[in-house]
Amino acid sequence: MELAGASAVVTGGASGLGEATTRHLVAGGAKVVILDRDQAKGEALAKELGVGAAYTPADVTSADDVAAAVAHADELAPLRVAVSCAGVGWAGRVVARDGTPHDLDLFHTVLNINLVGTFNVLRLAAAAMAKHEPTADGERGVVVNTASIAAFDGQIGQIAYAASKAGVVGLTLPAARDLAAVGVRVVTIAPGTFDTPMLALLPQEQRDLLAKGIPFPRRLGSPDDFAALVGHIVANDYINGETIRLDGALRMPPK
């Protein structure tokens, strides 16, 4: 899939993995619509990137918000790429030490944003892609989702987060099979421990300890590592229906 002459949407595109992906896609020649709830960051990034980017405030769980962002992208150029980076986490055991059961509303919230929001973007972006003329190879677009190695190695206290990310992994293959008829690929990336704004809040000692637990390379993942993999997935049209772990061979312990 060629980025030049195409548009893309990136959710959570104003910071962390999403920001790096936005920058990478713009550098590759795509017109990128940034979907993010942080208006200040979204507008600042779009302004910095100039004509290659635009910002649309959006809640990924809103059908109207995402539909508007997809339509905005399609006005700039045919939509060919959608990347879902928006997500939230929450720490809580099924039953807390004091005997309190996990908050059901919080469980719903995490699944709604991480899983339902990802599907919302997938379905609307794919529908828009399906209307465009295919490339010479019959491809109309690619959707890249973000899961986590917690989908496979969920730790104590990650019940909601791990369940939501496992759902993203689970929808990848059937979505790719569903969309094969219209030439839209679906791929998921499962990052390990990445140097994101959330981790930046930790003391350096804790950050160093996390890095030491990664077999090789012994460092935190960089958002640029994630963006580079997105770029390769876009370019390599034989990658489809797969979840790719991006974790330096890390396997998470129970806690």
Contact 144, 188 (CB under 8 A): yes
DSSP secondary structure string, 45-84? Answer: HHHHHGGGEEEEE--TT-HHHHHHHHHHHHHHS-EEEEEE
C-alpha 31: how far from chain center: 18
Residues 112/163, Cβ–Cβ less than 8 Å: no
Residue 161 bears catalytic tag: yes
Name the residue type at position 124: L
Of the candidates 107, 161, 194, 226, the residue annotated as catalytic is 161
At what angle are helices 104-111 and 159-179 packed, to 10 degrees? 30
What are the two backbone dihedrals, phi and then psi, of residue 71, each rounded to the nearest 5 degrees? -65, -40
Which residues are marked as active site?
161
